[in-house]
Each structure stands twice: as C-alpha cells, then as structure tokens.
Amino acid sequence: MRVLLFLLVSHTIFAGEYAVLTNGTRLHADRHEAAGSQIRLYTGEGYVELEAAQVSGFEPDQRVADAAAPIPREAATALSPLQLADQAADKYGLPRELLRSVMSAESGFQQQAVSPKGAVGLMQLMPATAQTMGVDAHDAVQNTDAGARYLRDLLEKYHGALYHALAAYNAGPAAVDKYQGIPPFRETIQYVNRIAGEWKKAGGASGQ
C-alpha cells in the first residue's frame, strides 16, 4: 500500500472513524474527504492519501473522544516512523533500507494500523508476540524496536537467509520450518518478493 503523508496543523478533536481497506486492514482517522480518485484520511498530524479503490468502506469509532485525555506516547514522540525504523535498524545491526521496506510492507508507516488477524502498529506485532517480547505493541517506539529485534533474531535463526527470515516474519517460523523455505502462500510469496526487490534496488545482497 502506497501512502503519502502531508503535515497539517490541526487542533480539532474528533470521535473519529476507521477506513476499511480492501485487504482487510483498518486505519484510524479523524475524518476523510474524497479528492478525485484519491481518499484523504485526516489525522491530528496531517493526512494520508490513498487510492479510492483501496478503500472498501468506513466504520465509526465507537469510543468517545476526551479532550482531557493524555496524548498517547506514539503521538508525543518527536520521531517519524522512518526515524524510528532507522534508529532500531542501527541498534540491531540491520540495514536501514531493509527495515524501512519491512515497515512499509507491514503497515504503510501507519502507527494505528490493525490487521484482520489483530497485528498492531508500525511493525504489525501480534499481541502474543508483543507479550512474549515484553513490549506494548501500541507504543510506536516499543513496536518498532521489537519488530527490528524479531527480524534480527529470525536472520540469526536462518543463518542470514533473508528470504527465509522475511517469510517467517510474515507467516511464522513454524510455516518456514515445515516447508523448509518460503511456504506456498500467495501473501507470503508476494511479501518476500516485494521487500527483497526493494532491498536489491537499494543495493542490498540477495539472501535466499
């Protein structure tokens, strides 16, 4: 999913809504507007622009907005998703462009992304994985750090085989171990090819 983020200044508080994408992902927004063939999802920090064909509908956010509620840590951080990715990549010895590509494929750099299976945040951590790693999946800093650590651990498990590690990040190590390589799942194959292709363009080595 390709998105473009434009910074705006806004102090209006909305109950909000969820944009339901054709792939099942739900993105939270304050409101939305149609702009030709594009849909703009407005948040307090700006707006995300999507192709209208990517959005299947909208659902209201049933939570009541509270003006006195504290600002979530992920909203308060001064670091952008790309900066968070670079910081985590440096910490765990991963190439920056690789982790950026994984974050892009996982969430489109959207902190509030939630998958149909319940994966949360920038690096789309499953609640069980986040619990095992001792992090709050809803915290952007912890989410990114844990995702990078998990990817590093997978690369170590598969002796640096990038394709195996990426497949395990997407489908789980059990599936990779069962098929002794990339499992024959369309989503996983497309996921691995997308990230590996972007990594090669950035000058990275192949990792089958």
Quote the tokens at residue 92: 């765990």
The single residue of 33, 74, 106, 187 carrying the catalytic annotation is: 106
Catalytic, 106? Answer yes
DSSP, collapsed to helix, strand or coil, labels residue 130 as helix
**Residues pairing with 21 in the sheet:** 55
Largest CA distance in the chain: 52
Closest by Cα among 57, 39, 144 to 102: 144
What does the DSSP assignment read for 77-121? Answer: -S--HHHHHHHHHHHHT--HHHHHHHHHHHHTT-TT-B-TT--BT
**Of all residues in the chain, what percent are helix, strand and coil, respectively (each to 5)?**
45, 20, 40
Helix and strand counts by DSSP (H, E) for the chain: 8, 7
Closest by Cα among 107, 172, 164 to 138: 107
The residues annotated with a catalytic role in the active site are 106
